[in-house]
Amino acid sequence: MKIALAQLNYHIGNFEANTNKIISTIKEAQANAADLVVFAELCISGYPARDFLEFTEFIALCDASAKQIASVCQDIACIIGLPTVNSSPEGKDLYNSAYFLENGTVKAVANKALLPNYDVFDEYRYFEPATDFHCIDFKGQRIALTICEDLWNNIDDPLYRTRPMDVLIQQRPDLMINIAASPFAVNHDQERMEVLSYNAKKYHLPLLYVNHIGAQTELIFDGGSMVYDAKGQIVDELDYFKEQVAYYNIEKIGVKEVSIQGEKPFTPDVSRMAKIEQIHQALILGIRDYFKKSGFTKATLGLSGGIDSALVCVLACGALGAENVMAVLLPSAYSSDHSIKDAEDLVKNLGCMSQTVAIKAITNSFENALEPQFAGLPFNIAEENIQSRSRAVILMAMCNKFGYILLNTSNKSEAAVGYGTLYGDMCGGISVLGDVYKTQVYELANHINREKEIIPQNSIVKPPSAELRPGQKDSDSLPEYDVLDRILKEYIEFRKSSTSIIAAGFEEAVVRKVIRLVNISEHKRYQTPPILRVSAKAFGMGRRMPIVGKYLS
């Protein structure tokens, strides 16, 4: 049997585009003599559809798309993912389902049993967990079909009480197929590989796994669809961050075997990306899809001459084309000459559009207007923030006038401790670096400059500064970033208490200050743009903290 894995980029609620893409792929697979083509979890609707799933029409359109796809499944079968109606009055109204389509009809249905309800996942809000599990017979072979998380309950501390494969294996399947919507995070690819290999070895079956690629606002899907043999050895791994269709021969001759159609043996250590390159590609894909799927083409950002805005500008040019990026230089009374030159040099290196709008007169106007109220009071954060908010007014005016989308340039370290101005440098349509620590920003900048200087070296080596007062440096308010980021990672990603972090050797006063800043800045993060997620614990939908909580504050 020849099976095609279709790793594609879907658009939430764009039924026409999703359906046409699936049908086109089925026809391509049919031309390549495939017997079965496998698509990803919830490919019809896109993932995550969230509260669109509460609209009856949305579910009806999913069903209509499935029927249209079924009509072209003649002399070929396919597996698609979609939400379906739970006909029983008990439980949730929907299932997260996989259809097996053959000869114009739905031959079989597999419903997802293990519904993740942690971090960015919220499936139990919408779906009823499956309780029946049945293999599917096709072309003389028996398929154990599961959906994403259904294969993930094999860790030492399982989240669920059941394992669908423990039931399906009793029906003596010949192979496993798992369709998934597994978002990108650094190191998650390795975790996936371990889980899939474990299942193939445990059940002594070949395993074919297909994932989404593409970005859906915050969530980025990296692909990396894989095939394992019955010994748990990887046979093939599809490209990351790219659409791809690949073909495999499944043979049943005494032992169950899988081979790549017309390809050389797979060498995973050679072909897989370094972690920093994965982050780089993920951010470019995140920007590109946010614009494409929102119907926008042109981006703008404030270019300060610092490393954060320089990196965002490079990523935006890579995602959208330099001709579609407007870098706006917004020098204040405290901007240094070298910062302006660094920004101008970057624009020259990239070839993007640029404008310069000095804000000194604008901030003076605000300060003059407030002179009666501020009379006799010293210069402080109020005047600093007026500068940042003046920049935001200019950038948003340009967005309104020219149809740009503003890219936010704040990094995760700043967002964590509230080192940014609400309604100033924290505004934007999408936050590109909001899940990238400052130390990772430097790593990305050096990665981008690995062959030639794109980001001016001075932007990388100079002490970071918001330049909102004379001689200001980030280190005046914060610990050095290599220390700060290690504390933040322990607290945010590993959920360590202050006591545990201090016991690990960090200075007590610094730890308590940092954690307090993280907690009292929660109200700011509630009002920031969506953040492209590249870590296992990003700010936004995957980290839910009370604004008024007292614990650790």
CA separation for the pair 313, 450 (Å, rounded): 17
Catalytic residue among 21, 41, 78, 438: 41
Q: Return the exposure string of 360-373: e unless at least 16 CB atoms fall within 10 Å of the residue's CB, then b.
A: eebbeebeeeeeee
Instruction: Tell me if 385 is assigned to a ligand binding site.
Output: yes
Strand arrangement, sheet containing 234-237: 136-138, 141-147, 175-179, 207-210, 226-228, 234-237
Residue 97 CA to its chain's centroid (Å): 23
Q: Determine how many CB atoms are found less than 10 A away from the CB of residue 88.
A: 9
Instruction: Tell me if 524 is assigned to a ligand binding site.
Output: yes
374 CB-contact burial (10 Å; exposed 0-12 / middle 13-18 / buried 19+)? middle
Instruction: Tell me if 174 is assigned to a ligand binding site.
Output: no
Catalytic residue among 21, 43, 112, 467: 112
Instruction: Tell me if 306 is assigned to a ligand binding site.
Output: yes
CA separation for the pair 239, 222 (Å, rounded): 9
Beta strands 353-356 and 325-329 are: parallel
Instruction: Tell me if 118 is assigned to a ligand binding site.
Output: yes
Among the listed residues 191, 277, 205, 250, the one whose alpha carbon sits nearest the alpha carbon of residue 5: 250
Instruction: Tell me if 307 is assigned to a ligand binding site.
Output: yes
Positive or negative, the CA dihedral 405, 409, 411, 417 is negative
Active site residue 550: no
Residue 51 DSSP code: G
Instruction: Tell me if 354 is assigned to a ligand binding site.
Output: no
Q: Are 362 and 392 in contact (CB under 8 A)?
A: no
Q: Please name the residues in contact with 504: beta carbons below 8 A apart, sequence gap of 6 or more.
A: 490, 496
Active site residue 401: no
Instruction: Tell me if 409 is assigned to a ligand binding site.
Output: yes
Active site residue 275: no
Catalytic residue among 62, 148, 313, 399: 148
Phi, psi of 250 (to 5 degrees): -110, 120
Instruction: Tell me if 553 is assigned to a ligand binding site.
Output: no
Alpha helices in 453-504 (DSSP H): 457-461, 481-488, 498-503
Instruction: Tell me if 122 is assigned to a ligand binding site.
Output: no
**From the annotation, which residues make up the binding site?**
118, 182, 302-309, 385, 409, 414, 524
Residues annotated as catalytic are: 41, 112, 148
- Residue numbers in the known binding site for deamido-NAD(+) are 385, 414, 524
- Which residues belong to the annotated binding site for L-glutamine? 118, 182
Question: Annotated binding site for ATP: which residue ranges?
Answer: 302-309, 409
